[in-house]
């Protein structure tokens, strides 16, 4: 495993260091991830796997402190080692109260790393503030701020025991490090003098407090409240108990939700930015996840599609600067990262170079293409850039650290198919998985959803001024649009995609917008089979007449399988201009040059009613909303689900969980899981399900003449081979492509065929179409005899060709009890010398192991555990690259990348420079910030 | 009718000759008969080939009692493994076939028509508390018919008794192969599948292994009921009671042994249909030669299926496949490749 791509699953905390210009994200499973300039990323995992509640960088240090939901504090630091920086956990600490005190006495609610870098102030549920030394986490009892001390000078009527309960916020004075502002949840705010150990000012808020923020010069601060209001307070030496300057409920007058965090940013032109999270009218917009930005008369409520975890503002952090001059707002929502450019008019979003939300619509399949020719690469980027015009041109504002990894050796594309009918093209060459281009197949079809129904088209006078931002939109209007199979030919630019409702689209790359009619053909895979009735979903309705397509991949032909069952396999031969597709009923071959169906073959067993009815038949009747709620449930991961909230009942929860586990265990013992032991038979369901399709130019009939051929493997262990006659190029349009069945092999063990491969006379796998024509591969050896490799879920078998006789086999399942889930040919090069490489099979089993099996002798070379065997979706999502790397989903939103090859390793390697620390003086240290700012 | 005649004990001749002699002395030249004899335990055993004929002659003491029944109204149930307690009934059953019987007579084929469905094997190398059972799914329409589950068993370890997870048979399907053999039972602990230990493997892994081996499944169990274990070396080898539970007894006729081997391996053989022709078994590419026995077996099978394919999924034979596989035979003596690759075809 080398690097994780995508967006962290279940983020729970956000931190930012203006000094390092690094951002940190914590997750519910106890991971923290640091991001800086593209390519600069670090990852750490807390041993406890507990939710990360808060992340605080130590000012002017390469250190950060995390607070977990078990009330433990962890100190992490970035240290250079072997020429690159590494993130390591240095210390851990759990605050302990005096014996007999309730857990709430030490339950940490607010953390303030002091600018002296020597101490942490820890606000607790009890209202007491503890002080611990860094980096040792030694408790400094003499410097603690007990709530009793705070209450001493508070006026009588505000003075009761409860007014000092729960510290909500701790903020250091921006100019005077000896003063800190303490906000209690009941509304009381106190300015505390650390030198004299006493409160200098009292601010008597009447509303329940949520958060505090200092104005840059320290003359005012702002507080935000549970009732959706915010209040400005003056701080001066003449009034020790001032009245608020201004109290506003921005979305009043009706009851509003809490404003949980607020920023007050000054600008040169005098108008401040007030930026706050929440505060929406409770009744009508209470379900919105919003952050509002107010700047003079401009006001926008950015509306996020998922819960806002936290946000921060990037502003001028130089202490000498007079104003904040905010440049960008970074928002961590539950499902995506959104960055808003505050300098450009209209506050456009910035396109993030990493942390892409892979799951903005659920991923349904993936396809990897290695070593993309530069020409195609540029054309895809150009098509993608036309889609990104609404993004800000601002350079990425989080740019700390230096990426020192070597440039990726080649251009790799990862294509993901999504439930909403889109295909996303990702730059998978390096550490940052970056979206290049998004293709939508929806335009070909008529769907219920009106394409003009845009959430952004709210009128000018709408109040609140909501604006939808972000790309996360998991709700597909029509699951039939889902993409199931993708095949891209990197030489010709032909792309075939196939979907849930039996649709197969062939596309070609066009650099311009175009309007044209998509040719339409039907492939009746049942042919003369009678007495069947498809009870599954209907096929998608197509749009009549010409359709306008934007620049990029534009479909020119649609082959509709009948019945419209999900397409289970797809192959494209760009040289022969043929596309083959298979479903649970059979397979077909389509000539996309002449736009003619060449043949179809029904593989359905007459007794297989289940395959006929269609697996989606029951879903059809469900209402859309129901479907959506199912999808919502599916998205929430079962594991690592932790309760947010006080640690007081954490132990109770654990106890309850343990009891529950025990109960379920007992239940399991009462009714044990059993497995039926039965040999596979021809009458089993879904034996006709076409699992794999393969084009090969080989010796199918006799050993003197080779010819194009199409191979298909089914779930029932049958392999079909068709001999094809493709007219020569000059008569390609005049003569039809012909096909004739030449062979049918029935594997006696009847396990599903998951891979078919032909090896040439040198036992090398046949090259991809057009690979030889582009001088990227040696011509296959047509002198020696070819061999056929059939991979089933249980066995690997090599047969001779053209006369099929069995030569070799490897019985994987019988020996090890594991089954083949994914198999591909991988080329392994030597990292020492360029002139040695070999082809092997990379195999992923249902136990999550990866095995390398040699070709052509089928000897197991090595085995690695890779994916947990319980992680079925991870195993199902795995794709191998051609050069021994691979990707699999570790959550709906994240790909883990792994490499089996020493030659091809993509992993982050970066440096974060330690600031020069000359003295402990606070102001002095700020020069380090300048340096960092200049550097970046 | 009774006849008494003498044979040269040292030169009994062939069964065919003996059969002819019987027809001759009874003056029934064109009547098909079943021939049986009583062995030393009083069991009625068939005489239908050279081997059991010679065996029968060798047991004559000095009298050999032979029973002849007309094939069409023979009482097959009289044959078999009835031991001493039923000794006296044998004669009466044969002599009075129309006696008060509730069940209609079961038609049992002759031994060469039998197909083994199960056996206990490796009795000599396994601990007595274990049983290694082979289920011959091949060639039978019966489902294997059993289920397995997770469970735990107690083991003796260096740390004393420990509870360890194990895999157990949880259910037998009535009428399935597993149940009909009587060799497996609910709560038997599965220790090995085709020679591979299951300890440390999950239920799903063991399921997959069993299914992958389903055509020739060998499972080693620790029977829940330890009272029916095979007891080694405690009885005379001639006991027919034991022979049914022992694996491939050495006295098994040669042809049967070959057939068994052919079946064991033929589960491996995939089928191919070339150019929409007829299905053939895929031969092995590695050259090998055949032995005399296997050749004779092929001829015998040829005769049996002169009239072409059987429609049912049963053992059959294809002429061209047989000849083609012979063509590619090469010099690799000692390997009984042919009867393994065979010409047996399963549709």
Residue B316: pLDDT band by 50, 70, 90 thresholds? very low
**74-93 in B: which are within 8 Å (CB) of A?**
none
Lowest-confidence range among A82-96, A476-490, A730-744, B299-313?
B299-313
Among candidate residues B293, B291, B268, B292, the one with its CA nearest the CA of residue B281: B268
Residues β-bridged to residue B17: none
Task: With CB atoms and an 8 Å threshold, state whether B285 touches A813.
Answer: no
Q: Does A676 touch chain B (CB under 8 A)?
A: yes
Q: Does B279 touch chain A (CB under 8 A)?
A: yes
Q: Which residues of A touch B151 (CB under 8 A)?
A: 672
| Residues B19 and B35: beta-carbon distance below 8 Å | yes
Query: Does pLDDT of A313 surpass 70?
Result: yes
Angle at A737 between CA A736 and CA A738, to 5 degrees: 110
Mark whether B198 and B133 lie in a shared domain: yes
Assigned domain for B247 exists: no
In whole angstroms, what is the distance from residue A197 CA to residue A183 CA?
17
Nearest CA in chain A to B268: A748
Q: In this predicted model, what pLDDT tens digit does every residue of B217-227 receive, in sequence order?
A: 999 999 988 88
Lowest-confidence range among A49-58, A529-538, A564-573, A744-753?
A529-538
Looking at per-residue pLDDT, the higher value among B338 and A747 belongs to A747
Number of independent structural domains in chain B: 2
**Beta-carbon neighbour count of residue B304 at 10 Å?**
11
**Token duo for residue A807:** 């030569």
Sign of CA dihedral B179, B183, B184, B190: negative
- A338-347 average pLDDT score: 93
**738-797 in A: which are within 8 Å (CB) of B?**
741-749, 751, 794-795, 797
- CA dist B313 → A668, B121, B296, B345 (Å): 40, 28, 24, 9
Mark whether B64 and B122 lie in a shared domain: no
What percent of chain A lies above the pLDDT cut of 90? Answer: 62
Residue A156: pLDDT band by 50, 70, 90 thresholds? low
In chain A, where are the structural domains located?
8-94, 478-604, 686-810, 818-914
Helix ranges restricted to H, B96-230 = 177-181, 203-212
Q: Which residues of B touch A744 (CB under 8 A)?
A: 272-273
Query: How do A108-113 and A119-124 pair as beta strands?
Result: antiparallel
In whole angstroms, what is the distance from residue A471 CA to residue A531 CA?
46
Looking at per-residue pLDDT, the higher value among A482 and B249 belongs to A482
- DSSP track, A41-89: EEEEE-TT-PPEEEEEEPTTSSEEEEEETTSEEEEEEEEEETTEEEEEE
Mark whether B138 and B216 lie in a shared domain: yes
Of B208, B215, B270, the CB nearest to A819: B208
Among candidate residues B39, B113, B20, the one with its CA nearest the CA of residue B80: B39
Residues of the domain holding B196: 118-228
Q: In this predicted model, what pLDDT tens digit does every residue of B33-62 receive, in sequence order?
A: 888 888 877 778 888 888 889 888 888 878
**Token duo for residue A915:** 């600031």
Q: In this predicted model, what pLDDT tens digit does every residue of B59-80 receive, in sequence order?
A: 887 888 888 888 877 666 666 5
In whole angstroms, what is the distance from residue B166 CA to residue B222 CA?
11
Mark whether B220 and B130 lie in a shared domain: yes
- A484-496 average pLDDT score: 95
Mark whether B221 and B131 lie in a shared domain: yes
Assigned domain for B71 exists: yes
Helix ranges restricted to H, A179-317 = 282-285
Residue A354: pLDDT band by 50, 70, 90 thresholds? very high
In whole angstroms, what is the distance from residue A721 CA to residue A584 CA?
18
Phi-psi region of A3 (alpha: psi -120 to 50; beta: other; left: phi over 0): beta
DSSP 3-state of A389: coil
A459 Cβ contact list (under 8 Å, min separation 6): none
Look over chain B and give the mean of its residue pLDDT values, rounded to a whole number: 68
**216-235 in B: which are within 8 Å (CB) of A?**
217
Q: Does A666 touch chain B (CB under 8 A)?
A: no
Q: Which of A95-104, A721-730, A827-836 has the highest mean pLDDT?
A: A721-730
Residue A821: pLDDT band by 50, 70, 90 thresholds? very high
Mark whether B138 and B222 lie in a shared domain: yes
Assigned domain for B191 exists: yes
**Token duo for residue A295:** 């700047």
Residue with tokens 């359709």: A547
Mark whether B132 and B220 lie in a shared domain: yes
Mark whether B147 and B206 lie in a shared domain: yes
Among candidate residues B344, B338, B321, the one with its CA nearest the CA of residue B287: B338
Most A CBs within 10 Å, among B269, B270, B277, B321, to test the A interface? B270
| Residues B256 and B264: beta-carbon distance below 8 Å | no
Helix ranges restricted to H, A562-694 = 609-613, 624-635, 650-670
Task: With CB atoms and an 8 Å threshold, state whether B276 touches A811.
Answer: no
Largest CA distance in chain A: 106
**Beta-carbon neighbour count of residue A19 at 10 Å?**
22
Task: With CB atoms and an 8 Å threshold, state whether B279 touches A742.
Answer: no
Domain boundary among B211, B228, B245: B228
In whole angstroms, what is the distance from residue A190 CA to residue A223 CA?
12
Query: How do A519-524 and A552-562 pair as beta strands?
Result: parallel
- pLDDT at residue number A776: 77
Task: With CB atoms and an 8 Å threshold, state whether B270 touches A815.
Answer: no
R_g of chain A, CA atoms, integer Å = 32
Query: Does pLDDT of A300 surpass 80?
Result: yes
Assigned domain for B129 exists: yes
Query: Does pLDDT of B20 surpass 60?
Result: yes
How far A670 CA lies from chain B's nearest CA (Å)? 11
Residue with tokens 């949520």: A210
Strands of the sheet containing A108-113, edge to edge, are A108-113, A119-124, A129-133
- A651-666 average pLDDT score: 56
- CATH code of B19's domain: 3.10.20.90
Q: In this predicted model, what pLDDT tens digit does every residue of A193-238 receive, in sequence order?
A: 999 888 888 898 888 999 999 999 899 999 999 999 999 999 988 8
Task: With CB atoms and an 8 Å threshold, state whether A675 touches B212.
Answer: no
- CATH code of B134's domain: 2.30.42.10
Looking at per-residue pLDDT, the higher value among A126 and B268 belongs to A126
**Token duo for residue B113:** 């028509």
Q: In this predicted model, what pLDDT tens digit does every residue of A358-380 receive, in sequence order?
A: 988 999 999 999 999 999 999 99
In whole angstroms, what is the distance from residue A920 CA to residue A917 CA?
8
| Residues A228 and A249: beta-carbon distance below 8 Å | yes
Assigned domain for B224 exists: yes
In whole angstroms, what is the distance from residue A541 CA to residue A447 CA?
7
**Beta-carbon neighbour count of residue A317 at 10 Å?**
16
Mark whether B29 and B124 lie in a shared domain: no
- DSSP track, B301-342: HHHHTTT---SSS--EE-HHHHHHHHHT--S-TT--HHHHH-
Assigned domain for B37 exists: yes
Q: Does A865 touch chain B (CB under 8 A)?
A: no
Look over chain A and give the mean of its residue pLDDT values, rounded to a whole number: 86
Helix (H), strand (E) counts: chain A: 9, 64
Residue A637: pLDDT band by 50, 70, 90 thresholds? very low
Query: Does pLDDT of A3 surpass 80?
Result: yes
- pLDDT at residue number B261: 38
Task: With CB atoms and an 8 Å threshold, state whether A804 touches B282.
Answer: yes
Phi, psi dihedrals of residue A916, rounded to the nearest 5°: -80, 120
Domain boundary among B53, B78, B103: B78
Mark whether B158 and B220 lie in a shared domain: yes
- pLDDT at residue number A771: 84
- pLDDT at residue number A645: 36
Assigned domain for B123 exists: yes
Assigned domain for B317 exists: no
ipTM above 0.85, yes or no: no
**Token duo for residue B305:** 């299926």
In whole angstroms, what is the distance from residue B275 CA to residue B255 CA?
35
Residues β-bridged to residue A879: A887
- pLDDT at residue number A449: 58
Mark whether B129 and B64 lie in a shared domain: no
In whole angstroms, what is the distance from residue A823 CA to residue A853 CA?
10
CATH code: domain A478-604 is 2.130.10.10
Global confidence as pTM = 0.79
Residue with tokens 């949980």: A260
């Amino acid at each position: 495993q080398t690097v994780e791509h995508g967006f962290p699953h279940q983020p729970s905390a956000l931190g930012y260091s203006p000094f390092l210009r690094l951002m940190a994200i914590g997750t519910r499973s106890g991971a923290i991830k640091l991001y800086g300039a593209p390519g600069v990323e670090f990852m750490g995992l807390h041993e406890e796997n507990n939710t990360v509640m808060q992340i605080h960088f130590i000012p002017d240090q390469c250190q950060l402190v995390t607070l977990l939901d078990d009330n433990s504090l962890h100190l992490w630091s970035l240290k250079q080692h072997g020429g690159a920086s590494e993130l390591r956990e240095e210390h851990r600490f759990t605050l302990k109260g005096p014996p007999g005190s309730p857990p709430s006495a030490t339950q940490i609610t607010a953390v303030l790393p002091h600018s002296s870098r020597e101490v942490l102030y820890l606000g607790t549920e009890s209202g007491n503030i503890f002080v611990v030394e860094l980096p040792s986490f030694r408790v400094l009892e003499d410097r603690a701020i007990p709530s009793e001390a705070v209450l001493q000078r508070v006026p009588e009527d505000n003075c009761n025991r409860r007014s000092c309960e729960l510290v909500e916020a701790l903020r250091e004075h921006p100019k005077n490090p000896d003063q800190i502002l303490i906000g209690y949840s009941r509304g009381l705010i106190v300015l505390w003098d650390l030198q004299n150990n006493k409160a200098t000012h009292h601010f008597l808020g009447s509303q329940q407090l949520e958060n505090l923020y200092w104005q840059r010069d320290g003359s005012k601060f702002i507080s935000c409240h549970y009732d959706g209001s915010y209040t400005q307070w003056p701080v001066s030496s003449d009034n020790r108990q001032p009245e608020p300057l201004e109290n506003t409920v921005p979305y009043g007058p009706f009851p509003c939700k809490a404003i949980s965090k607020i920023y007050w940013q000054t600008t040169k032109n005098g108008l401040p930015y007030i930026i706050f999270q929440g505060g929406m009218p409770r009744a009508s917009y209470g379900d919105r996840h919003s952050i509002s930005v107010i700047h003079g008369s401009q006001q926008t409520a950015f509306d996020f599609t998922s819960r806002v975890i936290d946000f921060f503002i990037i502003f001028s952090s130089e202490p000498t600067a007079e104003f904040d001059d905010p440049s960008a707002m970074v928002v961590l929502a539950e499902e995506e990262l959104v960055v808003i450019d505050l300098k450009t008019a209209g506050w456009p979003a910035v396109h993030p170079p990493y942390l892409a939300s892979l799951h903005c619509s659920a991923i349904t399949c993936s396809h990897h293409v290695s070593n993309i020719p530069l020409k195609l690469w540029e054309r895809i980027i150009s098509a993608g850039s036309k889609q990104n015009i609404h993004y800000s041109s601002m350079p990425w504002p989080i740019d700390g650290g230096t990426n020192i990894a070597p440039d990726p050796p080649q251009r790799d594309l990862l294509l993901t198919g999504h439930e909403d009918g889109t295909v996303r093209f990702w730059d998978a060459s390096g550490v940052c998985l970056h979206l290049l281009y998004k293709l939508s197949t929806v335009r070909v079809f008529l769907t219920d959803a009106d394409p003009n129904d845009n959430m952004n088209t709210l009128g000018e006078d709408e109040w609140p001024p909501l604006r939808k931002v972000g790309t996360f939109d998991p709700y597909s209007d029509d699951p039939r649009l889902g993409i199931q199979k993708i095949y891209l030919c990197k030489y010709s630019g032909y792309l075939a995609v196939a979907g849930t409702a039996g649709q197969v689209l062939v596309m070609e790359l066009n650099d311009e917008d175009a309007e044209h009619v998509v040719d339409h053909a039907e492939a009746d895979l049942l042919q003369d089979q009678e007495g069947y009735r498809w009870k599954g979903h209907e096929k998608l309705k197509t749009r009549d007449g010409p359709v306008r397509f934007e620049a990029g991949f534009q479909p020119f032909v649609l082959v509709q399988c009948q019945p419209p069952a999900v397409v289970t396999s797809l192959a494209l031969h760009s040289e022969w201009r043929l596309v083959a597709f298979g479903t649970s009923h059979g397979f077909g071959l389509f000539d996309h040059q002449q736009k003619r169906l060449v043949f179809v073959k029904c593989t359905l067993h007459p007794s297989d009613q289940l395959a006929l009815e269609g697996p989606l038949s029951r879903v059809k009747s469900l209402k859309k909303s129901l479907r959506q709620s199912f999808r919502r449930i599916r998205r929430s991961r079962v594991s690592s689900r932790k309760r947010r909230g006080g640690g007081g009942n954490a132990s109770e929860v654990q106890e309850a969980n343990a009891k529950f586990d025990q109960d379920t265990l007992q239940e399991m013992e009462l009714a044990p899981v059993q497995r039926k032991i039965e040999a596979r038979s021809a009458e089993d369901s879904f034996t006709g399900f076409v699992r794999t399709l393969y084009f090969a130019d080989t010796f199918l009939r006799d050993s003197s003449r080779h010819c194009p051929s199409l191979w298909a493997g089914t779930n029932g262990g049958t392999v079909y081979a068709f001999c094809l006659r493709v007219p020569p190029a000059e008569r390609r349009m005049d003569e039809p492509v012909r096909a004739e069945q030449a062979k049918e092999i029935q594997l006696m063990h009847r396990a599903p065929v998951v891979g078919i491969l032909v090896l040439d006379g040198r036992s090398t796998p046949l090259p991809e179409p057009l690979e030889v024509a582009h001088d990227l591969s040696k011509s296959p050896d047509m002198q020696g005899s070819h061999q056929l490799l059939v991979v089933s879920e249980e066995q690997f078998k090599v047969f001779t060709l053209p006369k099929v006789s069995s030569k070799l086999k490897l019985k994987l399942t019988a020996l090890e009890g594991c089954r083949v889930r994914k198999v591909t040919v991988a080329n392994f090069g030597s990292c020492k010398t360029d002139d040695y490489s070999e082809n092997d099979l990379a195999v992923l089993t249902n136990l999550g192991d990866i095995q390398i099996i040699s070709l052509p002798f089928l000897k197991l070379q090595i085995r690695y555990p890779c994916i947990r065997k319980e992680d079925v979706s991870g195993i199902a999502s795995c794709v191998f690259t051609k050069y021994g790397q691979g990707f699999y989903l570790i959550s709906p939103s994240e790909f883990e990348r792994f490499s089996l090859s020493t030659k091809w390793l993509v992993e982050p390697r970066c440096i974060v420079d330690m600031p020069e620390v000359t003295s402990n003086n606070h102001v002095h240290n700020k020069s380090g910030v300048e340096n960092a700012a200049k550097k970046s | 009718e009774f006849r008494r005649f003498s044979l040269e004990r040292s030169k009994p001749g062939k069964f065919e000759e003996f059969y002819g002699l019987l027809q001759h002395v009874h003056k029934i030249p064109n009547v098909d008969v079943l021939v049986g004899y009583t062995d030393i335990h009083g069991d009625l055993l068939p005489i239908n080939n050279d081997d059991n004929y010679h065996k029968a002659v060798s047991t004559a003491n000095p009298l050999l009692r032979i029973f002849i029944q007309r094939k069409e109204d023979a009482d097959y149930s009289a044959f078999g493994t009835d031991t001493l307690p039923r000794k006296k009934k044998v004669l009466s059953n044969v002599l009075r076939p129309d006696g008060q019987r509730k069940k209609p007579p079961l038609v049992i084929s002759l031994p060469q028509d039998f197909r083994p469905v199960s056996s206990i094997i490796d009795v000599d190398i396994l601990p007595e508390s274990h049983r290694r059972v082979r289920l011959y799914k091949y060639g039978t329409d019966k489902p294997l018919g059993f289920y397995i589950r997770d469970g735990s068993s107690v083991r003796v370890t260096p740390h004393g008794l420990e509870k360890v997870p194990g895999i157990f048979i949880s259910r037998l399907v009535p009428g399935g192969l597993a149940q009909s053999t009587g060799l497996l039972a609910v709560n038997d602990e599965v220790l090995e599948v085709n020679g591979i230990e299951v300890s440390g493997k999950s239920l799903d892994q063991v399921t997959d292994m069993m299914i992958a081996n389903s055509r020739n499944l060998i499972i080693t169990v620790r029977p829940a009921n330890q009272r029916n274990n095979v007891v080694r070396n405690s009885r005379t080898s001639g006991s027919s009671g034991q022979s049914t539970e022992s694996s491939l007894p050495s006295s098994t006729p040669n042809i049967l042994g070959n057939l068994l081997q052919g079946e064991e391996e033929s589960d491996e053989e995939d089928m191919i249909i070339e150019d929409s022709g007829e299905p053939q078994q895929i031969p092995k590419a590695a050259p090998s030669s055949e032995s005399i026995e296997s050749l004779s077996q092929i001829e015998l099978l040829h005769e049996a299926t002169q009239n072409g394919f059987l429609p049912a999924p049963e053992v059959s034979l294809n002429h061209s496949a047989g000849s083609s596989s012979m063509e590619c035979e090469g010099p690799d003596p000692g390997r009984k490749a042919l009867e393994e690759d065979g010409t047996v075809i399963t549709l």
